[in-house]
Each structure stands twice: as C-alpha cells, then as structure tokens.
C-alpha cells in the first residue's frame, strides 16, 4: 500500500519580503504569504488530498501556513506534530541581516558560498549538510514509518529543511540540491511504497 507525502514550504514571510536572512528567527507571514498558503490548501483539496497526520516546525511561519492550508481543505481535529528538527537552516550571525548588507560586509563571493554551498556554514550557523543531519533522522524515525503504512502525511516547513528531504527522496547530489528552488506555497507530492521507495513525484 502506497502512502502520500506532501511537502510545502511556508508562504512568504515578513523577512522574505524585507530580504533578510531569517533562519531560526520567527517572523510571521505577509498578506501574500497567507494567500500562498490558502492557495496551496485549495490545490490540495481540488486533488482530493486529505491528510491523516501533519508535521511542521517550531516556527510560526510554517505553523501558520499549515493552519491556513487545513482551513481551506476543511480539515478539523487534525493531529499536528511540531518539532524544531524541521526548522529552517540556522543562519547564525547572518540572521536578521539584509542580504545586500551582508554582501557589502563579507563580499558577494563569500555570501554566495554561505548561501549556496552544501557544506560550508555561515559564522555561528548551519550548512545545508548540517541541516540535513538533523532533518533526515527525524524524518526516518517519525514521518517515513507513517507513510510506509499507507498514511497521507503533510509537512509544512522551510526551504532548506525541505531541500534536505527532497535531496534524499529524489536522490540528488549536493550540487543538484543547492541549485534546487522550492517555491513558497508550492506543494510537492510523493507516492511512497511500504519499503520507502518513491513511486512518483509531482509539483503542483
């Protein structure tokens, strides 16, 4: 029996709009972000998807996105598991800084390395590799077993925590995953069999 795993990056946050490094800081959604979350819920409802259990991070932009999606799907009394293992990558000393100001301070090339390399962390923060090292064990222990049992699981999280999952699900290399863009509010759907094998994947 195949289960369904749906991954959704939170809608646009207030700091996305201001071009700030966010990481573990906790801004909420913008008006556009709320609409993106609602539209994701509408798209999933149109496809007939109904989650059996939901997972999200400890950050309110992801939690709010999930709540808005569930409201659009007409889902109530849902089991929601919140865990910081699904938090965004920690940007350390870059958190709260404008990305242009960071380039002025450290240089375009250095900031690009911090943002887009797989295993080079910013000062005081995490690389994508480090993010994957906390996301993937949690996924394998808490989320994948439910999907393998045929459950429909919805995960609302963040660009980099979802990159860690997509890398494993799609068998991507470090170079491929750092180049992969995951749009705000764009659901990714994976059908997974009882052995954990991905049978199909689709973006809607």
Q: Whole-angstrom Cα distance, residue 5 to residue 15? A: 28
Quick check: is 10 catalytic?
A: yes
Residue with tokens 């689709």: 202
- Of 36, 72, 88, 126, which one is the catalytic site residue? 88
| Four-CA torsion 8, 60, 28, 113, nearest 10 degrees | -60
Q: Which among 15, 69, 82 has a CA at the least distance from the CA of 204?
A: 69
Residue 59 CB coordination number (10 Å)? 25
Residue whose entry in the numeric block shows the structure tokens 């797989």: 118
Residue 86, sorted as left (phi over 0), alpha (psi -120 to 50) or beta, turns out to be: alpha
Q: Which of 10, 64, 126, 158 is catalytic?
A: 10
| Helix (H) or strand (E) run with residue 169 in it | helix 159-170
How big is the chain, counted in residues? Answer: 204
Q: Known catalytic residue: 35?
A: no
Show which residues are catalytic.
Answer: 10, 88
């Amino acid at each position: 029996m195949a289960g369904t795993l749906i991954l959704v990056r939170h809608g646009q946050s207030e700091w996305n709009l201001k071009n700030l490094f966010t990481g573990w800081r906790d801004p909420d959604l913008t008006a556009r972000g709320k609409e993106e979350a609602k539209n994701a819920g509408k798209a999933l409802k149109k496809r007939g998807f109904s989650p059996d259990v939901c997972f999200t991070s400890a950050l309110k932009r992801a939690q709010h996105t999930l709540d808005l999606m569930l409201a659009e799907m007409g889902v109530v009394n849902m089991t929601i598991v919140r865990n910081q293992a699904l938090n965004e990558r920690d940007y350390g000393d870059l958190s709260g800084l404008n990305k242009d100001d960071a380039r002025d301070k450290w240089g375009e090339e250095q900031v690009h390395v911090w943002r887009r390399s797989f295993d080079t962390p910013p000062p005081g923060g995490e690389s994508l590799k480090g993010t994957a090292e906390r996301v993937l064990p949690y996924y394998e222990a808490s989320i994948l077993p439910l999907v393998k049992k045929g459950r429909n699981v919805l995960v609302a999280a963040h660009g980099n925590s979802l990159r860690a999952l997509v890398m494993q699900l799609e068998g991507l290399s470090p170079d491929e995953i750092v180049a992969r863009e995951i749009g705000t509010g764009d659901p990714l759907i994976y059908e997974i069999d009882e052995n954990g094998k991905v049978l199909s994947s689709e973006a809607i």
